[in-house]
Structure 1
Amino acid sequence: MTGNAWKAIVREPLLHFLLVGGLVFGAYSWVTPEAQVETDSEVILIDQAELDHLKTLWKAQWRRDPNTEDVAAIIDRYLRQEVFYREALRMNLDHNDQIVKKRLAQKMEAVANDLSTLMQPPTDERLRAYFHEREAFFTLPQAYAFKQLLFAPHTSEEQLKQTLASLRANAEVAASLNSSSLPFEWELDSETAIENAFGGGFSKALASLPAGEWAGPVRSGLGWHLVYLEQNQPEHLPSFESVRDFVARQYEYYAVLEAQEQVFDELIGKYEVRISAEDVPDAILNEFPQS
């Protein structure tokens, strides 16, 4: 078979991930016979001593005791590391390599990542499909660009009206009236980000302001504001072309996670997971029922 023919097969969209994965793992298994793997390699034991050790390491890093969800995550990560580590040994990935177990598990994850790139290359066709399947994620939120002047909460209504009239008569004096540390000019930003900065329902009030003129006063969590609304950009889905690079990064990131999950699910089935520890979350026990 020529190189071009092989490339055509690899790029065939109907080619299944697990078929290629099976070929890769099968080849390594043939090179590294089963007899070379220790007798108990099909058993993953999580006893109390092991779980206590894992929780101690976790506590040393996060400086608090793990809760039920944390313990479930600790065990899940341990199983992933153990499975990828043992499969790495079967594939002889540790040959001439003194890196510890964690590094070997990372190598197995890298195999999954390579399969992801092989089976799901980020072509324009795939990226467009990914973009439209997740339009809600890529939709840009309501956003505003504006200028503002902050006044103390106790500022009188009459003073605010007089200042507003001055601004409408001569907008060039606006910047000179800004005496607070709050920025005078705000570039286009999301409604959520603006509300986080100002509070008090300020971002919601912007929706009712006219664009292209000074208006207000508008109340925020900081005080009163006179506002010049420069841009009111409604929530919208951008064109694919304008966000292609961002879509590609998201696609590649989640394709790698999906590939790792598929490989892990395939490999964990080869093992019997024995759990003799007492304080193991039900979610883990339900996933690995004990006989």
Structure 2
Amino acid sequence: MLARLVREPLVHFIALGALIFAAWYWINPPRPPVDEIVIDQPQLDHLKALWKAEWKRDPSPDDVKAIIDRHLRKEIFYLEAMRMNLDQNDEIIKRRLAQKMEAVAGDVSRLMKPVTDDELRIYMKRRPDLFAQPQSIGFRQVLFLTSERSAALATLAALREGNPVPEAQEDRMGVPNDWGVTAGPDIANAFGDDFAAELAKVPVGKWEGPIASGYGLHLVYVDKREDAHQPSFESVRPYVQREYDYQAQRDAEQAAYDALRKRYTVRITAEGVPADVQLALASQ
């Protein structure tokens, strides 16, 4: 029976047709349907607005073509990447999506009614550490290299007698001689903590030194000192508003996370995790 089928011309025709179709599909594999990318008016307006924000002018026709080409390139590579599951287990993508989700959660805080001045005053009183003004000092300095201690001492004596700062010592190494009233932390950032601590001890109205810093040796004259204090609400209201808004957004994000966290259970199969950590996660 089998031998007879093998000799049938119809069987030969079917087998040959199958081989031809197989060869055709091997040479020209079927393509998936082409995805449609729509660029409607709101989309194009958005792309042009982004371009204008970067270049500070309206895009020309050539610029519009470049904008669309760049958008299509991004969209096509994005769609193909998603088709290939390249987004799976990618830490950068996970981090970015998590940030966007946090931003969505943070938007809740912006939907709340505007904060009043009374609420801002209460917030300021609750967080005095955020708004306290550190000690500030207005001073002059004259810079010498570490190897020029003798010259520094001679100049100190001359300055105490009322002589002007030597021309060769003006703005030496790019360091200004005159410093207006400057907050202690800013002085420390500019000259180092040790210099700032020694400068805080210098009496007002007298040349002193030399005080060492990373630049060298400094002769200093303090003309004003303001002690650390709590500022008035009116003088720092914009800063209080920014801090309040920031904290409100953080609180909204945390509340959203706490609500979402209840929808998930955590099971840790990895080794080396402390038992109290596992218990805490399991109980959430």
Instruction: Determine if the TM-score, normalized by the shorter chain, exceeds 0.5.
Output: yes
Aligned-residue CA RMSD in angstroms? 3.3
Are 1:120 and 1:255, in contact at CA under 8 Å, matched by a contact in 2?
Answer: no
Determine the structure 2 residue equivalent to 1:287.
280
1:106 maps to: 100
Paired residue for 2:222?
Answer: 229
Contact kept in structure 2, 1:175 and 1:184, CA below 8 Å: no
**2:158 maps to which residue?**
166
CA contact (8 A) 2:142 2:165 kept: no
The CA distance in 2 between the partners of 1:108 and 1:238, in whole Å, is 33
- Max Rg structure: 2
Distance 1:225 1:189, change over 3 A: same
Q: Given that residues 143 and 169 in structure 2 are in contact (C-alpha distance below 8 angstroms), is that contact kept between their aligned partners in structure 1?
A: no
Same amino acid, percent of matched pairs: 36
Q: Which amino acid is the alignment partner of residue 116 of structure 1?
A: S
Confirm whether residue 125 of structure 1 aligns to residue 135 of structure 2: no
Quick check: 1:199–1:222 contact (8 Å CA) kept in 2? no
Equivalent position of 1:146 in the other structure: 139
Cα distance 1:122–1:212, how it changes in 2: closer, same or farther (>3 A)? same
State the distance in 2 between where 1:241 and 1:248 align.
11
Greater RCO (CA < 8 Å, at least 6 residues apart): 1
Q: Where does residue 216 of structure 1 map in the other structure?
A: 209
TM-score (norm 1): 0.56
* Cα deviations by residue, 1:257-278 (Å, 9 ceiling, x for unpaired): 1011112212221333344444
> Structure 1 106/174 Cα, relative in aligned 2: closer, same or farther at 3 Å?
same
- Which residue in the other structure is 2:68 paired with? none
1:1-291 → structure 2 map (5 Å cutoff): 54=89, 57=91, 102=97, 106=100, 109-110=103-104, 112-119=105-112, 121-157=114-150, 159-174=151-166, 176-178=168-170, 179-199=172-192, 201-278=194-271, 285-289=278-282
Q: 1:256 to 1:215 in 2, by over 3 A?
A: same
Q: Deviations over 1:15-57 (max 9, x none)?
A: xxxxxxxxxxxxxxxxxxxxxxxxxxxxxxxxxxxxxx75x73
Which AA in structure 2 matches 1:162?
A
Deviation at 1:228, TM superposition (A): 1.6
| Structure-2 change in CA distance of 1:107 and 1:207 (3 Å) | closer
* CA distance in 1 between partners of 2:270 and 2:161 (Å): 76
Q: TM-score, normalised by structure 2?
A: 0.57
The one-letter code sitting in structure 1 at the alignment partner of 2:208 is A
Kindly indicate whether the alpha-carbon contact (under 8 Å) linking 1:201 and 1:220 is maintained by their aligned counterparts in 2: yes
Name the count of aligned residue pairs.
195
